[in-house]
A and B are shown apart, each in its own frame.
Chain A
Amino acid sequence: MSILEESGRGLLLGNEAIVRGLIEAGVKFASTYPGTPSSEIGNILEEISEDAGIYFEFSSNEKVALEVSAAAASAGVRSFAFMKHVGLNVAADPLMTLAYSGIVGGMLVLSADDPSAHSSQNEQDNRYYSTLSLLPMMEPSTPAEAKEMIRYAYEISEALTLPVIYRTTTRVNHARSIVEYGPRTDTPAKGHFYKDDKRFVNIPAFARLNRVRLLELNKKAQELSEVSPLNRIEGSGDIGVITSGVSYTYVKEYTSGAAILKLGFTNPLPEKKIADFIKGKRYVVIVEELEPFLEDQVFRICAQNGLGVPIYGKRSGHLPREWEYSPDTMKRLKELIAVKDMSAPLPPADVKLPNRPATLCAGCPHRGMFAAGKRAVGKKEVVYCSDIGCYTLGLQPPFHAADFLICMGGGVGAAGGFDKSTDQKAIAYIGDSTFFHSGVGPLTSALFNDHKIVTVILDNRTTAMTGHQPNPGTGRGFGSINTEPIDVETMVKGLGVKFVKTINPYDVKEAEKVMKDALDFNGVAVVVSKCPCPLELKRNNKLRVRECHVNQDKCIHCHMCVKTIACPALVKKGDIVRTEPAQCIGCGMCANVCPKGAIEVKE
Chain B
Amino acid sequence: MKYTVQIVGVGGQGVLMASMVLGTAAMRAGHQVSMSEVHGMAQRGGSVISTLRFGDDIISPLESAGGADLIMGFEPVETCRYLSLGNERTFILMNLDPVYPSAVAAGFEEYPDVQKLVDSVRSRTDNLKTLDATKVAVSLGKAVAANAVMVGAVAAVKGFPLDKDLLKEVLLEIVPERSKELNSKAFELGYDAMS
Please give the residue numbers on chain A whose beta carbons come within 8 Å of chain B beta carbons, in ascending order: 9, 11, 13, 36-37, 39-40, 118-119, 141-142, 171, 174-178, 246, 249-250, 252-254, 326-328, 342-361, 390, 393, 397, 465-466, 559, 562, 566, 568-573, 580, 582
Contacts and interface: CB of A to CB of B under 8 A. Distances in A.
A353 B41 contact: no
A390 B40 CA distance: 10
A444 B71 CA distance: 53
Contact of B102 (A36, A465, A568): A568
Contacts of A11: 20, 23-24, 27, 33, 35
Nearest to A580: B105
19 contacts: A39-B40, A118-B38, A142-B59, A174-B39, A175-B37, A176-B37, A177-B59, A249-B61, A252-B59, A253-B57, A253-B60, A345-B84, A351-B112, A353-B81, A354-B101, A354-B112, A358-B45, A562-B106, A568-B102
Contacts of B10: 356
Contacts of B57: 253
Pick from A37, A350, A466, A559 the residue with the most CB of B within 10 Å.
Answer: A350
A294 B42 CA distance: 31
Given A119-B41, A348-B83, A571-B100, A354 B109 contact: yes
A355 B124 CA distance: 22
A569 to B, nearest CB: 8
Contacts of B145: none
B33 A178 contact: yes
Contact of A177 (B33, B40, B64): B33
Main SS class of interface, A: loop
Would you list the 5 A-B pairs with minimal beta carbon distance, nearest first?
A345-B66, A572-B107, A119-B40, A36-B40, A343-B87
Given A353-B77, A353-B112, A346 B84 contact: yes
B20 to A, nearest CB: 8
Contacts of A119: 39-42
A345 B107 contact: no
A544 to B, nearest CB: 20
B37 to A, nearest CB: 5
B184 interface: no
Given A342-B65, A347-B124, 9 more contacts: A174-B36, A176-B33, A252-B59, A253-B59, A327-B63, A346-B86, A355-B109, A465-B40, A566-B106
Given A11-B23, A350-B120, A351-B112, A345 B40 contact: no
Contacts of A36: 39-41
A301 to B, nearest CB: 27
A458 to B, nearest CB: 15
Given A174-B36, A361-B45, A354 B103 contact: yes
Contacts of B108: 397
Contacts of A249: 34, 59-61
B80 interface: yes
B162 to A, nearest CB: 14
Nearest to B87: A343
Contacts of B36: 171, 174-176
Contact of B46 (A342, A349, A350, A359): A359
B160 interface: no
B66 A346 contact: yes
A570 B106 contact: yes
A359 B41 contact: no
A353 B80 contact: yes
Quick one: which of B20, B64, B109 has the most chain A CB within 10 A? B64
A465 B32 CA distance: 33
A39 B40 CA distance: 9
Contacts of B105: 568-572, 580
Nearest to A141: B59
B45 A359 contact: yes
B78 A345 contact: no
B166 interface: no
A34 to B, nearest CB: 11
A351 B37 contact: no
Interface string B8-45: 00110000000010011001000011111111111111
Given A174-B38, A355-B103, A393 B64 contact: no
A186 B111 CA distance: 58
B117 A359 contact: no
B101 A175 contact: no
Nearest to A578: B105
A356 B46 contact: yes
B124 A568 contact: no
B165 interface: no
Contact of A344 (B20, B38, B61, B66): B66
A142 B34 contact: yes
B41 to A, nearest CB: 4
A2 to B, nearest CB: 14
Contacts of A348: 80, 83-84
B56 to A, nearest CB: 11
A343 to B, nearest CB: 4
A345 B87 contact: yes
A141 B160 CA distance: 28
A11 B101 CA distance: 32
Contacts of A349: 80-81, 83, 117, 120-121, 124
A142 to B, nearest CB: 6
Contacts of A390: 44
A178 B87 CA distance: 28
A246 B103 CA distance: 36
B44 A360 contact: yes
B156 to A, nearest CB: 22
A118 B102 contact: no
Contacts of A573: 107
A346 B117 contact: no
Contacts of B20: 11
A174 B59 contact: no
Contact of A566 (B80, B87, B102): B102
Nearest to B43: A358
Given A118-B42, A176-B33, A466-B40, A346 B90 contact: yes
- Of listed A358, A566, A573, residue having the most chain B CB within 10 A: A358
Given A37-B40, A174-B37, A346-B86, A254 B64 contact: yes
A589 B115 CA distance: 35
Nearest to A327: B64
A354 B110 contact: yes
Contacts of B103: 354-355, 397
Given A37-B39, A359-B44, A177 B34 contact: yes
A250 B45 contact: no
